[in-house]
Amino acid sequence: MEFSQLKAFICVAENHSFSITANQLHLTQPAISKRISTLEEQLGCILFDRIGHHIQLTQAGEVLLPRAIKVLQEVEDCKKQLHRLNDCVSGKLALASSHHIGLHRLPEILKTYAKEYQDVDLDFQFIESEQACEAVRTGQIELAVITLPLEPDGKLQTIELWNDPLICMVNKEHPMCTLSEVCLEQLASYSMLLPEKETFTRQIIERPFFNHQLKLKARMTTNELESLRMMVEIGLGWSILPKSMLREPLVEIQVVDLHLDRKLGLVRNKDRILSSSAEAMINLLLSTRDVRLGV
């Protein structure tokens, strides 16, 4: 059994496709099929049901998949340990970030990193915070810089880097601008623009309203905070967004007893050995940490 066969098997299982896997691994489709068929011969069982163009794991494939992932992760961890003996920052770093953080917090950090560690193959991806946590948990990426989850995860280590205050914003022509004081009940009576359900940011926003048994009137949702800001700007409703996004023609609405913020930071898998490239990135990120959080 070869590691290349296990890698092909995992990719086909994730993609449900031989052709997509072939493109992903820069191989021909017959080469991928050969690796899978050879693996099936060695194991003495069929790993995929091939029904027309649809590919799905058999029971044997379901049993093998988590073990194959673990084997390749062990091999990768071994490589990292051996590589670190050379005290050299190189190799590949799979790093993910949410769009807002990637656009507003990371450009200078990535620029500095690329300049200082030119031997590192940086694989940077934009992923929503919730999906990034899962990708770190399963070992698909090594580090993520995201909105931190509200609840702890036993497999993940989180490090807060920045506090991100959230405020209520409206177009300056919104009816609430005429009110001297706004309470949660009044706020909830107007249509708003929200991040998608199940996102960490939406959980933060909804919590105080749920605590007061108030239901928000969500006019539309999107995970792109810049898109939410644009829709607020043209008068489609109010939203709660990072304070750093406040600018004309938007104004802040002071809401009684509403004080919200997001914790932005780093996520890594507790069970994985860090590569030298990941350690270098963590050190660089810590150097940008909010002073109040310490080092």
Question: What's the whole-model pTM score?
Answer: 0.71
**Mean pLDDT in the chain?**
90
**Nearest partner of 162 among 97, 117, 223, judged by Cα:** 97
Instruction: Work out the angle at residue 260's Cα, subtended by the Cα atoms of residues 203 and 107, and round it to the nearest 5 degrees.
Output: 85
For the chain, report the end-to-end CA distance as a whole number of angstroms: 46
173 and 254 belong to one structural domain: yes
Mark 131-169 as b/e (b = at least 16 C-beta within 10 Å). Answer: bbbebbbebbbbbbbbbbbeeeeeebebbebbebebbbb
pLDDT beyond 80 at 291: no
Q: How many residues does the chain have?
A: 295
Total domains present in the chain: 3
Q: Which two tokens stand for residue 57?
A: 């794991």
Whether 295 has a pLDDT exceeding 60, the answer reads: no
**Interatomic CA distance for residues 45 and 110, integer angstroms:** 46
Q: Give the pLDDT confidence of 47-78 residue by residue, as tens digits.
A: 998 877 788 899 999 999 999 998 888 888 88
Q: Do 276 and 249 lie in a common domain? A: no
Q: Which tens digit of pLDDT belongs to each residue from 112-165?
A: 999 999 989 999 999 999 999 999 998 889 999 999 999 988 899 999 999 999
Q: Identify whether residues 104 and 128 lie together within a single domain.
A: yes
Q: Are residues 176 and 143 in the same domain?
A: no
Q: Check pLDDT > 50 for residue 249.
A: yes
Q: Which of 48, 83, 118 is the last residue of a domain?
A: 83
Give the domain range for residue 234: 164-261
Q: Residue 114: name the closest of 283, 279, 281 by CA.
A: 281
Instruction: Determine which helix (DSSP H) or strand (DSSP E) holds 205, and give its type and residue range.
Output: helix 200-211
Residues 290 and 163: beta-carbon distance below 8 Å: yes
- The fraction of the chain above a pLDDT of 90, given in percent, is 68
Q: Does one domain contain both 22 and 102?
A: no
Angle of CA points 180, 183, 193, to nearest 5°: 100
CA triple 209-203-171, angle to 5 deg: 65
Instruction: Tell me the C-alpha distance between 105 and 155, whole Å.
Output: 26
d(CA 145, CA 160): 10
Mean pLDDT of 286-293: 76
Residue 73 belongs to domain with CATH number:
1.10.10.10
SS3 assignment, position 271: coil
Residue 278 and residue 251 in one domain: no
Same domain, 98 and 79: no
- Is residue 73 within 8 A of residue 139, CB to CB? The reply is yes
Phi, psi of 243 (to 5 degrees): -55, -30
pLDDT tens column, 85-118: 666 788 889 999 999 999 999 999 999 999 999 9
